[in-house]
């Protein structure tokens, strides 16, 4: 396994992050345990979850599965850099969602209880909330850090200017601020190259891409043997809209002799701002297959051809101006 620093911090994390959104709704508890154990066997130490994952509002089912796994002991917690999130609806009453100081405090306590741990390594804001001033948010986060319940703070689904505003406010409070951003990023979704990636680079945030395979679109979807969500109406529509690109994409992967999913991950890993793409395996076999991405080296010619198939962006304003 390869490791890197999470943004500007000294924290070492694996170059692949185990996403757990499938745990509960699509993968049962026993198999989820097997996947997490296999991840450790491969040296993957970075696990990502969220309090809203699990399919049932307010239950935190996925966090509870992780907690039961951690409770088995034998170094599971000590070997894991554990990341979870706060923001989503955890109930129907006011203050059971978003980023008020009250909800941040309550949500953290609830996550700690479900995860059966006394601290969270990376506590991420799942989305921006414009109603709460940064003074309130940072005050709440600082208290959690002081209490030892949270070590690092990250964001998810922020824009570049949100990161700038957040970290300037943190700097004024002599606080470390955001150290990572989790965002949609893959070959077919490159909007973040305009301002988000430059902001992450400027402020020392590690980028953690979610949906690195575009919801399965980049996983060899034209192959009749493909599985997963390929047969859904939404996926079929997406395939037809992108068929020309996908044909060229899968042909290029065929020339390289590599599985499309692994090339898509390798492309993200080639970006110096990317810390670790989030992989969401439903089985141990899918997890095992993802490790190949770490061994793929993409030549300049291949990177150029990928840019021709999936055009990206230059940083703003050059990306849309002269």
Tell me, what's the pLDDT at 232? 78
- Please pick, among 53, 123, 152, 185, the residue that the annotation labels catalytic: 53
Using alpha carbons, list the distances in angstroms from residue 196 to 177, 187, 273.
16, 15, 11
Three-class SS state of 207:
strand
Tell me the CB-side half-sphere exposure of residue 122, using CA atoms within 13 A. Answer: 30
53 is catalytic: yes
- The two tokens of residue 6 are 């999470």
CA dist., res. 252 & res. 259, Å (int): 10
Q: What is the pTM of this model?
A: 0.95
Give the helix/strand (H/E) hosting 243.
helix 243-256
Q: Tokens 């290029």 sit at which residue? A: 252
Alpha helices in the chain (DSSP H): 29-41, 61-70, 101-115, 134-146, 160-172, 196-203, 233-241, 243-256, 260-269, 284-290, 300-309
Could you give the domains of the chain? 3-309 (3.20.20.100)
Per-residue pLDDT tens listing for the chain (322 residues): 999 999 999 999 999 999 999 999 999 999 999 999 999 999 999 999 999 999 999 999 999 999 999 999 999 999 999 999 999 999 999 999 999 999 999 999 999 999 999 999 999 999 999 999 999 999 999 999 999 999 999 999 999 999 999 999 999 999 999 999 999 999 999 999 999 999 999 999 999 999 999 999 999 999 855 544 445 788 889 999 899 999 999 999 999 999 999 999 999 999 999 999 999 999 999 999 999 999 999 999 999 999 999 999 999 999 999 9
CA dist., res. 284 & res. 288, Å (int): 6
Tell me, what's the pLDDT at 230? 46
Tell me, what's the pLDDT at 155? 98
């Amino acid at each position: 396994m390869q490791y890197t620093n999470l943004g500007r911090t000294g924290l070492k994390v694996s170059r692949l992050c185990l996403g757990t959104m499938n745990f509960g709704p699509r993968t049962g508890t026993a198999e989820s345990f097997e996947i997490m154990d296999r991840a450790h066997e491969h040296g993957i130490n970075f696990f990502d979850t969220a309090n809203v994952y699990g399919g049932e509002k307010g239950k935190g089912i996925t966090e509870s599965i992780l907690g039961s796994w951690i409770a088995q002991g034998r170094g599971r917690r000590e070997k894991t850099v554990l990341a979870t999130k706060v923001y989503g609806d955890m109930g129907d009453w006011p203050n059971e969602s978003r980023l008020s100081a009250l909800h941040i405090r309550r949500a953290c306590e609830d996550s700690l209880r479900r995860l059966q741990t006394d601290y969270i390594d990376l506590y991420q804001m799942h989305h921006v909330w414009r109603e709460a001033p940064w003074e309130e948010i940072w005050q709440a986060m600082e208290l959690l850090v002081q209490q030892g319940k949270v070590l690092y703070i990250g964001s998810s689904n922020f824009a570049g200017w949100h990161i700038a505003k957040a970290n300037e406010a943190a700097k004024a409070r002599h606080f470390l601020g955001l150290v990572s951003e989790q965002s949609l990023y893959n070959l077919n979704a490159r909007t973040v190259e305009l301002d988000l990636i430059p902001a992450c680079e400027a402020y020392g945030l590690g980028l953690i891409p979610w949906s690195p395979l575009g919801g399965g679109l980049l996983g060899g979807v034209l192959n009749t043997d493909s599985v997963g969500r390929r047969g859904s109406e939404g996926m079929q529509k997406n395939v037809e809209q992108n068929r020309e690109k996908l044909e060229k994409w899968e042909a290029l992967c065929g020339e390289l002799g590599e599985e499309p999913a692994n090339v898509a991950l390798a492309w993200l890993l080639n970006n110096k701002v990317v810390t670790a793409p989030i992989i969401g395996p439903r089985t141990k076999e899918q997890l095992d297959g993802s490790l190949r991405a770490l061994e793929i080296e993409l030549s300049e010619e291949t990177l150029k051809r990928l840019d021709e198939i999936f055009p990206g962006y230059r940083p703003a304003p050059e990306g849309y101006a002269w």
